[in-house]
A and B are shown apart, each in its own frame.
Chain A
Amino acid sequence: MTFRLTPSVIPEYKGQVGVSMGGFGVLGVVLVAMGVSAGPVRASTSFGYSSDLASEQIEIMESDFAFLDSAPISENNKSLKALLEVSNLSPATLRSWLQERVKFIAPKTFIPMMDDNVRALGGKVSYPGGFSEDETSNTNRVNNATNLSFPIYQAGRKSQQLLAFRFLNTDWIPVLSPRVGLVRLGDGFFRLLSKSFERDSLRNPLHRIFRLSVLFHEARHSDGSGSRIAFRHSACPEGHELSGNLSCDEPLNGGYAIQASVLEALTHAQPALDKIQKKVLDVQRLDALSRLVHLEQLPSPTEEGSLCSELVKYGHLPDYCNKKQVQDNFWWNTAPEFAEGEGVVK
């Protein structure tokens, strides 16, 4: 059996190509024939949106991307470059990086295996590596978004079948890798960050930066392979504020690190943010970094104005400012995993 990922056209969407299967293309995977499509994508949209999403939500997300496109991202952000493994930083590279990992957007009502939205396509496939138990975060915080690619891929891996998902407005989309990029938006994604904000604030830079950072975080869950597939979160250690919850990251290049770095880059690119907005973004950034189990391994910034550079200027060098070098063990390989099977041509 062979599988083909081709664009399809359904009445409410016209055109295709925007999302396509860029990630697969880059990795040289070519899938041929059999009525399985990559799903419909509205022309000129950034993602394949489920028809269950409100049009206002789609409009906001598209304008978030326009916001990203016009952000004067600093080329000198070494940390973000290293995390994304890109040689230059620009809105275009950020967009491309994200779109390789996030391709389909589902509403919070999308629950895999419900409503006939996931099925086995038949055909024999084999999955590299073993599998681990499903993991879910058990914090009582509002969920912003979830990358569903891995759980579906994992279910297929367990049963050694090729699974596919669909929205009401799409054909079946095979999940040959977490790189299929299916992200479900949670209650928190479109929320106002403070009850004191007006509804219009959803379109202000503060909220746009927040939402984009969440998508970049989720994008990392499309990466990795073997036991480190999907860069899954780990239990926060004893003594941590969220001790026992699956809300922390072992690697220094996981979703939280990326989220923090994107928050920083986009905040710096928006000098018009007021002090309160900046503080909100700073606190969100530190909150993301506080989820790094091995935070002590993270080098301290030394740029002008940073805490350690100020301390050095006054002749102090406390132990928490000691220079560190990130060890390989804390920097996971990001290459994605793909299932292999008959007709799946590399």
Chain B
Amino acid sequence: MNKFNIQKLGILAVLASSAGFGVWIMLPKTEKSIRLQIQMTPAAEASLVPVATPEKSEAAIASGSTEAAMLAPTVIEPTSSLSESDMIESKNRDLSVFAESSLERLLELANSDMDPSLIESAMILGEIESKYESDIQLSEHVISFYQDCAKLHDLAPALRAVCFNKAVKLSLISNGEIWDPKEIPQRIKELATQL
């Protein structure tokens, strides 16, 4: 899903972060922008290398090619040499980039005339859930993603309701507190209870 954007954003984020800037993205049609608050330390240089597909990487590694080193993926996989905190940070960075690009994509879809935009958006939410939700170390970022998503006015009510449902449930698990901002319409909340 959306690999191009994720990779592009990943590289952008590395460049901007190392230069001390946040990244702003102007979104089409809505004239809105969202701040990409990417919490990250500069990534290894390998991540700035044009990204290869996993298949190419595996093939190169399997063949013993010297290209293997050049074909490292953008997202750094944790290795046994990394400390636990490094691993968590790496995961957080991965999620952060993924989440922000997902929010951007959701807004793009919401403002497009593409008919199955609801389905495509649902798939993004499904991907977030399947990739990140089970990792308790990432809960803060995941909750934050769902909260941001629930607040996006341009999204279809069904999508906002899914996000609200998730944000509330994960907040409860995380700290026992209810997340119930006034800015989210009652109708979205009522819809969320049906899930």
Residues of A with Cβ closer than 8 Å to B? 140-142, 188, 191, 193-196, 241, 260, 274-280, 282-287, 289-290, 295-296, 298, 300-301, 306-308, 310-311, 313-314, 316, 318-321
| Chain B neighbourhood of A280, CB < 8 A | 119, 122-123, 126
What are 6 A-B contacts defined by CB distance under 8 Å?
A194-B116, A194-B123, A279-B129, A283-B158, A290-B158, A307-B192
Contact of A320 among B113, B120, B125, B193 (CB under 8 A): B193
**Complex alpha-carbon distance, A66 and B176, angstroms:** 45
Question: Contact: A300 with B122, CB < 8 Å?
Answer: no
Interface contact tally, CB-CB below 8 A = 121
- B165 contacts the other chain (Cβ, under 8 Å)? yes
Interface size on B, residues (CB 8 A): 37
Contacts A276-B130, A286-B191 aside, 19 further interface pairs with beta carbons under 8 A come to A142-B115, A194-B119, A196-B1, A276-B122, A276-B126, A277-B126, A279-B125, A279-B162, A280-B122, A282-B162, A283-B125, A283-B159, A286-B157, A287-B157, A290-B187, A306-B193, A307-B193, A310-B168, A316-B178
Q: Tell me the interface secondary structure of chain A in the complex.
A: helix
Contact of A311 among B113, B159, B178, B186 (CB under 8 A): B178
Contact at A295–B172, with CB atoms within 8 Å? no
Contact yes or no, B119 A141, CB < 8 A: no
How distant is the Cα of A195 from the Cα of B109 in the complex, in angstroms?
14
Shortest CB-to-CB span from A294 to chain B, Å, is: 11
- Which B residues have a C-beta under 8 Å from some C-beta of A? 1, 113, 115-116, 118-123, 125-127, 129-130, 156-159, 161-162, 165, 168-169, 172, 176, 178, 180, 186-187, 189-195
Contact for B195 among A277, A307, A320, A321, CB less than 8 A: A307
A320 in contact with B186 (CB, 8 Å): yes
Set A191, A194, A308: member contacting B120, Cβ < 8 A: A194
From A274, A295, A308, A319, B187 is in contact (CB under 8 Å) with A295
State whether A320 touches B189 (Cβ < 8 A): yes
The smallest beta-carbon distance between B169 and chain A, in angstroms, is 5
Residue of A nearest to B193 (CB): A300
Q: What chain B residues lie within 8 Å of A275 (beta carbons)?
A: 126, 129-130
Most buried by B among A140, A296, A314: A314
A270 CB, nearest partner CB in chain B, Å:
15
A318's nearest neighbour on chain B, judged by CB, is B180
State the CA gap A194–B165 with chains docked (Å): 24
With a CB–CB cut-off of 8 A, which chain A residues contact B172? 310-311, 313-314, 316
Bound together, the chains give a CA A275 to CA B1 distance in angstroms of 14
Q: For the complex, give the distance between the alpha carbons of A196 and B165 in Å.
A: 27
Contacts of B116 in A (CB 8 A): 191, 193-195
Q: How far is the CA of A257 from the CA of B69 in the complex (A)?
A: 55
Other-chain contact of B194, A279, A284, A301 (Cβ < 8 Å): A301
Q: Are A276 and B123 touching (Cβ within 8 A)?
A: yes
Given contacts A277-B126, A280-B123, A307-B165, contact A301 B193 (CB under 8 A): yes
CA distance A16 to B180 in the complex (A): 58
Q: Give chain B nearest CB distance to A250 CB in angstroms.
A: 16
Flag if B125 contacts A318 (CB, 8 Å).
no
Least CB distance from A129 to B in Å reads 33
Q: Which residue of chain B has the shortest Cβ distance to A321 in the bound complex?
A: B193
Which among B123, B159, B168, B194 is the interface contact of A300 at CB below 8 angstroms? B194
How far apart are the CA atoms of A286 and B120 in the complex, in Å? Answer: 15
Q: State the Cβ distance, B154 to closest chain A Cβ, in Å.
A: 10
CB-CB < 8 A to A282: which residues of B?
A: 122, 162, 195
